[in-house]
Amino acid sequence: MLVVCLLFSLEHEEWPLGLGRAPALVRDPDPARPLADRHPQSRIDHGADPAVVLGATGQIRGGKMKQLPRQRDPSPHGSQGTTDVVPPPPRVILSSSKERVRIAEAAKARFEELASGLFLPSEDRSNLIKELSFVNSSLALVPSIDDPLRATLYEKGVSVNMKLSDLTRLHETLLIGLNLRELIEKLGSDGQGSPLDSGVYGYLDVFARLNGAAIKDLIRLEREAVLRARGVNPYRAMPSLGRLPLDGSSFVHRSTNTVIPNLFGEVLRSELTTADSSASRALERLRRTDSGRANRNNSRPSARRKQCDLLDS
């Protein structure tokens, strides 16, 4: 009965129960069509409460409404930004095809001498740093431990354990500095930029020499790390480990397909394999020798007394 009343009121533009005039509706020329077909943008669930009231905007208040799915635009951004021209392909950047800058033969010899590890005596290095001016900042000096914590944390001769990857990252940073030094000089010497002052070349030379000496220290630490990881005393395996720079030999890295300098040159390899023909047998012999020395040292009376003292304390 309520449904009949509702339909009757809509046909006569009146709200049921005396609620006033309903909004003007466009009359369908075919009054026999169902009400749902006259308004295809919505569907009324006829199982809902029949007291359905239409607001001024024509939206349904009360009851349930089923909306038809919107038609999707086949283009994700519409028709904007489309073109008939095929853009150029993206650049394929490979680590093995990194661009190299050609430098003069004298500059290349200087770079390779420093990159192989420059021997700089401690006294010469200290004198060089003493003569060098620092900028007006406290961060220009190496940090240290302040007095309140020194008594608790400081220990003379403390050792620091680093991963080989950390040493490699520091080594790479120093090599980048040497690359930048040669590129800066090339800009001035080849006329591609303003000529550099002689003082600039002097500071670049000091910078490069200090970098080369630091690279030599890192090469020694990298060699030590590799041998210690195999349980071998580095200087028993290779007595010249800390003295020799890189010898310039190289190999093709199997994963990156790039030419990489050898960390252990021919002289160091021959030192390792003096008593054995292969490196693996040499490492095994050195491990046995080192473990035997350690056992003999632990069996000494002085060593046993020290262990007892530590246990008693």
Stretch 68-84: mean pLDDT: 64
Q: Average the pLDDT over 50-68 and give the result.
A: 49
DSSP tag of 268 = H
Mean pLDDT over 232-251 rounds to 91
Strand partners, 259: 252
Cα–Cα distances in Å, from 189 out to 107, 110, 114, 186, 300?
Answer: 11, 15, 20, 5, 66
pLDDT band for 6, please (50, 70, 90 cuts): very low
In three-state secondary structure terms, 248 is coil
Q: What is the pLDDT at residue 66?
A: 55
pTM, two decimals, is 0.61
Instruction: Using the CB atoms, write b or e for 179-214: b if 16+ within 10 Å.
Output: eebbebbbebeeeeeeeeeeeeeeebeebbbbbbbb
**What residues contact 209, with CB distance under 8 A and at least 6 apart?**
114, 118, 120, 128
Is the confidence at residue 178, as pLDDT, over 70? yes
Task: Say yes or no to pLDDT of 298 above 60.
Answer: no
Cβ atoms of 68 and 61 within 8 Å: the answer is no
The greatest distance separating any two alpha carbons of the chain, rounded to the nearest whole angstrom, comes to 117
SS3 category, 289: helix
Question: Which of 18-32, 79-93, 121-135, 244-258 comes out lowest in average pLDDT?
Answer: 18-32
Q: 272: which residues sit within 8 A by CB, 6+ positions away?
A: 237, 238, 264, 279, 282, 283
pLDDT of residue 206: 93
The contacts of residue 293 (CB under 8 Å, 6+ apart) are none
Kindly report the three-state secondary structure assignment for every residue of 108-136: HHHHHHHHCCCCCCHHHHHHHHHHCCCCC
Among 67-76, 215-224, 275-284, the minimum mean pLDDT is found in 67-76
Quote the percentage of the chain above a pLDDT of 70: 64
pLDDT at 29: 56
pLDDT value at residue 272: 87
Question: Highest mean pLDDT: which of 40-49, 77-86, 118-127, 152-161?
Answer: 118-127
Mean pLDDT, all residues of the chain: 75
Q: Please provide the size of the chain in residues.
A: 313
Distance CA 114, CA 21 (A): 96
Decide which of 310 and 279 is more confident: 279
Both tokens assigned to 284 = 């095994």
Q: Average of pLDDT values for 89-95?
A: 75
Q: What percent of the chain has pLDDT over 90?
A: 29
pLDDT at position 58: 45
Q: Judge whether residue 140 has pLDDT over 50.
A: yes
Which amino acid appears at position 254 of this protein? R
3-class state of residue 52 by DSSP: coil
Q: Is the pLDDT of residue 38 over 70?
A: no
Give the burial string for 8-37 (b: 16+ CB within 10 Å, else e): ebeeeeeeeeeeeebeeeeeeeeeeeeeee
Cα–Cα dist 244/117, whole Å: 9
Residue 289 in contact with residue 237, Cβ under 8 Å? no
SS3 of 24, please? coil
